Amino acid sequence: MKTSSPKPTDPPRGLVCPRCECRHFEVVKISHAVGYVRRRRACRHCGHRITTTERIVGGGSPRPKGLPVDPI
Ligand SMILES: [Zn+2]
């Protein structure tokens, strides 16, 4: 069973370099697409590169009309 309670021993949220475990990244490239943004990041310490994809919530694509906003 998984619990969602935060613990201080949990790994830090956000980006952590899998090689050197640092959290200092610089964005080397940003690709915009429909509904999401893809960022190419490079670790400042070891140069390891990773790609992150962030979904755009709200504002990216208009909500289809006719759907209930609060289904309560
Ligand atoms: Zn690194």
Residue 44 · residue 26 · CB < 8 Å: yes
Quote the tokens at residue 21: 């475990």
Query: 28-46: string of b/e by CB count within 10 Å (b at 16+)?
Result: eeeeeeeeeeebebbbeee
In this structure, is residue 19 part of a structural domain? no
Report d(CA 49, CA 27) in Å as an integer.
10
In this structure, is residue 2 part of a structural domain? no
In this structure, is residue 49 part of a structural domain? yes
pTM of the predicted model as reported, rounded to 2 decimal places: 0.58
Quote the tokens at residue 7: 């613990």
CA of 40 to the centre of ligand 1 (A): 14
The total number of structural domains that make up the chain: 1
In this structure, is residue 13 part of a structural domain? no
Structural domain harbouring 49: 25-55
Tens of pLDDT along 1-58?
Answer: 666 665 555 555 778 999 999 999 999 999 999 999 999 999 999 999 999 999 988 7
In this structure, is residue 6 part of a structural domain? no
Residues with CB under 5 A from ligand 1 (ion): 17, 19-20, 43, 45-46, 48
In this structure, is residue 32 part of a structural domain? yes
Query: Where do we find the tokens 């490239």?
Result: 29
